[in-house]
Structures are given as C-alpha cells and as structure tokens.
Amino acid sequence: MPSLPAPEPITELEVLALRSGVKGSRGLWRGEQVYVKTLVSDDPDRIAMFHHEGEVAARVSQPPSGHPLVTPLLRHTHDQLIFPFLPGGTLRDLARCGPMGAEAATEVTWGVLQAVAFLHARGVTHHDLKPENVLLVSGEARMDAVRLVDFGMSHATDLQLDIHSGTRMGTPHFMAPEQFQGVRGDPRSDLYSVGVLLFDCLAGHPPYEDALGWLVGISENRAELPGPPELHPVMQAAIQRDLNARPQSALEMLHALCVARRALHLPELTG
C-alpha cells in the first residue's frame, strides 16, 4: 500500500458515532460539509480494515469512473476517510416509520441496483448491503436520493490482498448464505441482499427471524412475501439459497423489477 498523506485539518467537528475503533464526525473541510471517519485504534486488524475501505472506496470514486448513487471518497489520509456530508438519514431511519408502499420501495431498490450494477462492473462486491448503508438524500424514498456507503467489507478483484478472505463478516439478516460460509467476491451475494432490502422495505422486517438458523441451513422458516403479488417473483428469485437460482446480474434483476413495476402501472424508471 503506498504511503498516505498526513491528516487534513477539519474544523467545526461534531462527533456522531464511535464504533470498532473508528470515530465518525461531521465537519468542515475546504469549505465543504463532510463526514469524516477517523481511525482511533492501534489494533493491526482494525487498521487494515480501515485502509481496505479507503482503497475500495477510491476505486469507485475517482472521476470519470464515479457514480452519482455511490458516495464518493474525497480524501484518504493516514487516519482519515473523508466523504461529503449528505443530510437526510438512512433507509433504516425511514423504515422505522413503518412498511413502505410498492412505489417507494421499488424506487429505492431501483437506485440500489443501479449503484450495485456500477460496482459489479468495476469488480467490486459490496458484501454489506443493509438499510444502514443506504443513505437517502433529504430522507426521501426516491431512486435519485439513494447513496451507497461503507465499503469496509467489500471485495475488489484488483486488490492483491483480500483481508477478509475466508471470513464470515456481514450482517446476518441481510447476508447471503454463501457469504456466511466464507465465499467472497460473488456479485450474486449482493443481489440476495438487495432482495432482502426490498422485502424489508415492504414488510418492515427481513424475511428470516432466525437469520443464523437460515444461514447454517437448520431453519427454512420464512415470513410471507410482502407487498403486491407482482413483486413476489422479484423477491422470491433474489433470496434463493442456490446462487444459480438467483438473478445472475444486477441488470437482470433491474429488468425483473421493471416488469413488476409495469404490471403495477407504476411510472417507468430510467438511469
């Protein structure tokens, strides 16, 4: 890994979170409101994970390869990751208000899939798609309000070392079964998570109450598919245990979502 620049001066700092050796703060950098992740741990594993996130985020941020629905990394220093500050909250914040209607849920899912298709085309599998990692600008459930964040668990095909190789890292309610078994870098794992996100938006909860039981294969008890029947095939296909039974690409899943929205007489989405 190349040497990194010295920390940048950040003014008007307001600490928002402290988790796993990383402090999250809002502040002012070069006249811009930013969200800063600051490494405050000297644990070698935490240090490696922090800079791994920076390396992956840089790969999907640099012009002209960035995407409007992926939060860009502005600066990676010795102990900082600096991102634009995006007011509005997360999909989790919105979900606390209760289940979403089909139009809003599919708009958000469409935005997530657009961002995921971009990542996959660049050899990046996110591996931690969950409501907390989907920002919604201004808190609105719109396709163009979606911003993906947090590449701490991501896999990038062009990185020489995958520091998470063989691990079971992820969020049980949203991670794919093969990911729990240590499989890394398969884009279809992200599509499973997107299917769970759609389920969660419509139902107000993920499909498997006993998530660990489902992941290890000792429980198959799944909640009823939520929302209108036109959306059931999209979710049913995405959350299959068998990778080959899922959509094989984000574009394939986008097409299925488009067909479902059309059947529901919802406006066409583009982008």
User: Which residues are catalytic, by number?
Assistant: 128
- Which residues neighbour 145 within 8 Å (Cβ) at sequence distance 6 or greater? 88, 111, 136, 137, 138, 139
**CA separation, residue 152 to residues 24, 165, 169, 221 (Å):** 14, 13, 10, 30
- Asked if 211 contacts 199 with a C-beta cutoff of 8 angstroms, the reply is no
Specify the residue for token string 């919604």: 136
Q: Which residue type is seen at 246?
A: R
- Which residues neighbour 193 within 8 Å (Cβ) at sequence distance 6 or greater? 126, 128, 129, 130, 174, 175, 176
- Asked if 262 contacts 270 with a C-beta cutoff of 8 angstroms, the reply is no
Say whether the peptide bond before residue 177 is cis (omega within 30 degrees of 0).
no
What SS3 class is residue 51? helix
What SS3 class is residue 94? helix
Length of the chain: 271
